[in-house]
Structure 1
Amino acid sequence: MGLRANPTYRQRRFGAEVRAIRESGGLTAGEAAAAMGMYASHISSVESGRTSLSPERLRALAAASGCKDTTYLDGLVELGQASGKGWWSQYRDPLRPSLRDLAELEDGACDIVCYEPMFVPGLLQTEAYATAGYRGGYTGASRSEQDREVEFRMRRQAVLTGENAPRLHAVIHEAALHMSFGDPAIRRGQLIRLLEAAELPKVTIQVLPFEGAVAFGTSFTVLRPPVRKLSTAIVAHIERSLYLGDGDSLARYDNWFARLCEVALPPANRDLRHDSYAVKDSRGLIQRLLYPLL
């Protein structure tokens, strides 16, 4: 089998974890190769995600490196053996590979947490809102490319209602709730969508109000699979988003999200009833903003 020319994020992450196991045991590439019964030249290809590693060789490396975390190893084996195929596989050029990586991560997540200071998270957007965002954005994508990405974003949302739907916890700054793209109907539809999404059993929505704590300036998402050590933090950037999987980065973003949850309004709980003018929690704030638009 030839080497992969363009490994996916999952494949690169698997390679990075293999390298981390080797380095944690203080093994050189040659020593690791000897422990696995393979050529040393093969190690760099594995660690860069350009080729795979059998479960047997992975466990041999772990034993030689002193890694005894069986839950982590089982999760890593699953990560390395995954086909990577899903509904997103049918979307190729001109769709950005990073979007397919995102959909694959969402599909394998049991928890998704996200913070957005300016826009409603993609998993909660209406089609009209998403389309307006692409039309008024700063990318050089053609109209057809924009339509393709909007379609892809709408398909991603099915993960929230699937059989193994992940838990989604979103903290959204109030500024995002005022975004209308010049059309009040878009804003009205989006606010209604948020109230509807809050009814889903695995969705939690909190709003960080204007009069609250200083906003965190950068949007981010943390996707957590069953083995939390294999989580990924995605930090949005105007040129290319960062995909972070090291322990220190994950701990930082987990901590920042926990702090945002503490200063945001209580969740838009579906079991509570509110007067439309009451701004006591996230649902009350959304309702108050929606009322003049009805």
Structure 2
Amino acid sequence: MPPSKLPPSARQRRLGAELRRLREHAGLSATGASALLGATQSRVSNIEAGRYAVSADRVRSIAHSYTCTDQALIDALAGMSGGRTRGWWEEYREILPSGALDLAEIEHHAASMHITSVIHMPGLLQTGEHARAVISDAVPPLAPPDVEHRVSHRIKRQAVLYRDDPTPLTAIVHEAALRMGFGGRTVARAQLEHLIEMGERKHISVLVIPFGAGTFPGSGQSTVYFCGPVAQLDTVQLDTDHGSEFLDAPAQLVKYRTVLDRMEKSALNPAKSRALIRRIAQDN
């Protein structure tokens, strides 16, 4: 099968990167792996770059050839096999940056999610009007149709919280984000009421870090931690001015798991968080 004409998605790149890690852990060079697998070195390189779609059976065969004995990891990698996921986000392929599509795909497949946000409301918990107010302030300014495309994409991403088997979500939000007032008083109050409503759902925990908590790790950026089917397949997404950045190196995952744990310890419990959000909403 020739390489796909489309650039590989983040999920395809991740599968290739994990197969490369298994090869390197086995002490094999790309040349050695090609001889072991009965494939050309070019094919091995294309698989590891995510440019070739590989079947679940092929993934299992490669993992066993690399003497991987972690059956849970092998099963999870096999579950990532095949071609590009043809999800709803593909309709935005010629409209939005590729990182937006990658984010939607990763959210779709995540086993659970942990979000931290200091200034902005988490995108998965934003109302349409709040999202529009934030996106309209992009630099450089977006044309009105582009704003609406991004708003609709953000709202469609939220489907993972409403499906029959919704994705568990823990959102750690600083009090500063609750008081920013994006979009004016009416929009801000509706956003806070929506946050309370979502936090009352069984699969969603909204935790607020109050101003009185003082300093805490991770205060400089918004972070999303996606839990994969096994810990090795977790992914971190950093929200930056130039787009999404995805991290998956083992040391990075350990660091951000530690940061999230410490942030959660700084936050109020869900009931006290909702009470604080209500007080702020009443002040608007």
Q: Tell me which moved more, 77-86 or 204-213.
A: 77-86
Q: Is 1:250 aligned to residue 241 of structure 2?
A: no
Deviation at 1:38, TM superposition (A): 1.0
Q: Does 1:23 pair with 2:19?
A: no
1:263 partnered with 2:266: yes
Bigger shift: 138-147 or 202-211?
A: 138-147
- TM-superposed CA distance for 1:100, in Å, is 1.4
CA distance in 2, matches of 1:86, 1:61: 27
Spell out the pairing of 1:6-155 with structure 2 (5 A cutoff): 6-81=7-82, 83-155=84-156
Residues 151 and 89 from structure 1, CA distance in 2 versus in 1: closer, same or farther, beyond 3 angstroms? same
Shift of residue 82, structure 1, vs aligned partner: 5.6
Aligned to 2:226: 223
For residues 41-71 of structure 1, give each alpha carbon's deviation from its aligned partner in whole angstroms, at most 9, with x where no partner exists.
Answer: 2111111111123334433332232211111
Which portions of structure 1, spanning 4 or more consecutive aligned residues, are displaced by more than 4 angstroms?
Answer: none
Question: How far apart are 1:83 and its partner, in Å?
Answer: 4.4
1:286 equivalent in alignment to 2:277:
yes
TM-fit CA distance, 1:91: 2.1
Deviation for aligned residue 1:139 = 3.6
Would the aligned equivalents of 2:170 and 2:206 in 1 still touch at CA under 8 Å? yes
State the one-letter code of the partner of 1:3: P
| Distance change (3 Å), C-alpha of 1:64 and 1:289 | same
Contact 1:25–1:64 (CA<8 Å) still a contact in 2?
A: no
1:206 is paired with a residue whose SS is strand
Deviations 1:236-290 (CA, angstroms, capped at 9, x unpaired):
211132201121111111110010000111113xxxxxxxxxxxx2111111111
SS at match of 1:21: helix
Return the offset for 1:182: 5.3
Partners of 1:127 and 1:53 lie apart in 2 by: 38
Matched AA of 1:8: S
The amino acid that maps onto 1:118 is I
Letter of the 2:264 counterpart: C
What is the alpha-carbon distance in structure 2 between the residues aligned to residue 25 and residue 141 of structure 1? 48
Gap change, CA 1:157 and 1:55, over 3 Å in 2: closer
| Contact 1:35 1:61 survives alignment (8 Å) | no
Equivalent residue for 2:3? Answer: 3
User: Residue type of the partner of 1:248?
Assistant: A
Amino acid at match of 1:291: Q
Contact 2:199 2:205 in 1 (8 A): yes
Separation in structure 1 between the aligned mates of residue 32 and residue 61 of structure 2, nearest angstrom: 12
In 1, the alpha carbon distance for the partners of 2:55 and 2:166 equals: 29
SS in 2 for 1:80: coil
Structure 1: which amino acid aligns with 2:48?
A: E
Q: Deviations over 1:104-161 (max 9, x none)?
A: 1111112100100101000100111000001122244321111101011111112101
Report the Cα distance in structure 2 between the residues aligned to 1:57 and 1:39, rounded to whole angstroms: 15
**TM-score, L = length of structure 1:** 0.91
- Structure 1: how far apart are the matches of 2:32 and 2:55? 17
Tell me the distance in 2 between the aligned counterparts of 1:106 and 1:67.
Answer: 27
Percent same amino acid at aligned positions?
Answer: 35
Distance 1:232 1:191 in 2: 28
TM-score between both structures, scaled by the size of structure 2: 0.94
Structure 1 residues without counterparts, runs of 5 or longer: 269-280
1:163 matched residue in structure 2: 164
Shift of 1:213: 2.7
Q: Write the distance in 2 (CA, Å) between the matches of 1:242 and 1:121.
A: 16
SS of 1:236 mapped into structure 2:
strand
Which one-letter code corresponds to 1:23 in the other structure? Answer: E
Indicate the larger mover: 30-39 or 186-195.
30-39
